[in-house]
Amino acid sequence: MNILISSVGRRVKLVEAFRSELQKVNGKVIAVDCDSTAPALHFADVYEVVPRIDDLRYIDYLKKVCKKYKITGILSLIDPELSLLANYVEEFEKEGIYVIVSDKQIVETCFDKYSTSQILGSHGLPCIPTYINIEEVICDLTVGKLEFPLIIKPRKGSASIGINKVYTMEELLIYKNETEELVIQPFVNGQEYGVDCYIDIFSRKPVNMFMKKKIMMRAGETDKSISVRDNDLKQLIERLVYVLNPLGPIDIDCFLTKGGFVISEINPRFGGGYLHAHLQGQNFVKNIINNLSGVTNQLQNNEYEEDLIMVKYEDVKLIKNVLPQASEVSL
């Protein structure tokens, strides 16, 4: 069995985890990215440089790569590509290739912070109040339903890019004419948690649920985290999964506030902090291989040690003779 991972970027350790698990079943991991210097490309069994995901030829390239390497399953590591791939699930399936992605509607809801809060709110799930209308914000500030500081961020952003904290009405009004692609939220003062889940593709049940406190962030990613088990959080995530019905690996961010846990973000893919779960034996990679082999995964919840700290650090690699960019070659 060969698996293709697209938009691999810097996620070397995840690609290595796939490589190591696939070796056990005589399979290979094929990595693709539009940038020939993406570090993770150079740790796969094979790599190909493809066009950017917004290039019209992208899906055709992907199909050709799948054919060339007899791919059984595809998964992507970045949000914008989830939406794209969700459109082509059936087309790929016709060729015997399974795309590990949640339904298009789920993927698009999760990518949009406003839609996320709307769907959570409509199902009574605790979430951060999220505004797209500045008049509503002003109104709620006036009646005391909302307080400064506020957080303004892109509706569809990631990696903590473009996040601004706003302390006064004057500062808020600067955004008056540019709120279309922004959301406004109260600043939440609470311990942040991350939960990595694997939703079995056949049973649609969360067979793994790994909970961690985030103890240090860096460039929008969790730099240090500590494993925890919390029954309230577990129940909240189970309710969320029941409502959302996603599949495969999924990563959920939460805050613990005075009023309990609130959900702040959902990423229906491998989260940047997944490796903590993996190092503690929550092997989603093996789950994927099982599912692609037609095997249903059994419940593995909470079978991990608490209070283990995961730290991230930088490693380096020298690369030469990179493959040319996709625009210069034809497959």
Q: Which is closer to a copy of itself, CB of 108 or CB of 192?
A: 192
Q: Which is closer to a copy of itself, CB of 33 or CB of 200?
A: 33
What is the smallest separation between the CB atom of 10 and a copy of itself, expressed in angstroms?
5
Binding site for a copy of itself (CB under 8 A): 10-13, 37-40, 42, 215-216, 218-219, 224, 275-276, 279-280, 307-320, 322
Distances (CA, A) of 49 to 7, 17, 331: 10, 21, 10
What is the smallest separation between the CB atom of 278 and a copy of itself, expressed in angstroms?
9
**What single-letter amino acid sits at 198?**
Y
Q: Which is closer to a copy of itself, CB of 59 or CB of 215?
A: 215
According to DSSP, the residues that pair with 71 across neighbouring strands are 2
- 3-class secondary-structure state, position 305: coil
Q: Which is closer to a copy of itself, CB of 143 or CB of 318?
A: 318
According to DSSP, the residues that pair with 218 across neighbouring strands are 221
Q: Which is closer to a copy of itself, CB of 9 or CB of 51?
A: 9
Q: Residues 196, 281: contact at Cβ < 8 Å?
A: no
16: CB partners within 8 A, 6+ apart: 43
Task: Write the burial class of residue 235 (CB in 10 Å: 0-12 exposed, 13-18 middle, 19+ buried).
Answer: exposed
Q: Which is closer to a copy of itself, CB of 10 or CB of 52?
A: 10
Closest CA to 81 of 47, 108, 42: 108
**What single-letter amino acid sits at 263?**
I
Q: Which is closer to a copy of itself, CB of 258 or CB of 317?
A: 317
Question: H-helix or E-strand containing 238?
Answer: helix 231-244
Q: Residues 264, 183: contact at Cβ < 8 Å?
A: no
What is the smallest separation between the CB atom of 226 and a copy of itself, expressed in angstroms?
9
What is the smallest separation between the CB atom of 209 and a copy of itself, expressed in angstroms?
18
Q: Which is closer to a copy of itself, CB of 41 or CB of 244?
A: 41
What is the smallest separation between the CB atom of 299 and a copy of itself, expressed in angstroms?
23
Instruction: Tell me the C-alpha distance between 285 and 150, whole Å.
Output: 38
Cβ count within 10 A of residue 34? 20
What is the smallest separation between the CB atom of 326 and a copy of itself, expressed in angstroms?
18
The string of DSSP codes covering 20-51 is HHHHTTT-EEEEEES-TT-GGGGGSSEEEE--
Q: Which is closer to a copy of itself, CB of 41 or CB of 85?
A: 41
Q: Residues 158, 220: contact at Cβ < 8 Å?
A: yes
Residue 51 preceded by cis peptide, ω within 30 = no
What is the smallest separation between the CB atom of 312 and a copy of itself, expressed in angstroms?
5
Instruction: Tell me the C-alpha distance between 187 and 175, whole Å.
Output: 17
What is the smallest separation between the CB atom of 174 and a copy of itself, expressed in angstroms?
12
What is the smallest separation between the CB atom of 314 and a copy of itself, expressed in angstroms?
5
